[in-house]
Amino acid sequence: MTLIIVPRTNTQYPRSLRKLTRKGAPQSGAERNRLFKDVEHLVRLAAVMVIALVAFLVLRAAVVPHSFGQYGHYRGDAIAEIAGRPIAHAGHEVCEACHTDVVDQKKLGRHLVVPCEACHGALARHADDPASVKPPKLDTAVVCARCHEANSAKPKGFPQVATADHSGGLACDTCHQPHRPKIEPVAETKPVTEGKK
Partner 1 sequence: MDITRRRLLMLLPAAAVAWKFVQAGTPEASPNYKHTEHWWGMLIDIPKCIGCGTCVRACAEENDVPEGFYRTWIERYHVADWQIERPEVASPNGGKQGFPPSHIGGKNFFVPKLCNHCADSPCTQVCPVGATFVSPDGVVLVDKTYCLGCRYCVQACPYGCRFINPKTNTAEKCSLCYHRITKGLTTACCEVCPTGARQLADLKNPNDPIHEFLKTHEVQVLKPHMATGAKVFYNGMDGSVR
Q: x/- contact string, 124-163, with partner 1 (CB under 8 A)?
A: ---------------------xxx-xxxxxxx--x-----
Stretch that binds partner 1, among 41-49, 86-94, 131-139, 174-182 (CB under 8 A): 86-94
> What gap in Å lies between CA 71 and CA 61, rounded to an integer?
18
> What gap in Å lies between CA 152 and CA 158, rounded to an integer?
11
Residue closer to partner 1, measured from CB, 36 or 68 = 68
79 contacts partner 1 (rule: CB under 8 A): yes
Per-residue CA distances from 128 to 35, 97, 102, 116 (Å): 83, 13, 19, 16
87 contacts partner 1 (rule: CB under 8 A): yes
Number of C-alpha atoms within 13 angstroms, CB side, residue 131? 0
> What gap in Å lies between CA 52 and CA 55, rounded to an integer?
5
Binding positions for partner 1, rule: CB under 8 A? 61-62, 65-68, 71-75, 77-89, 91-92, 113-115, 117-118, 121-122, 145-147, 149-155, 158
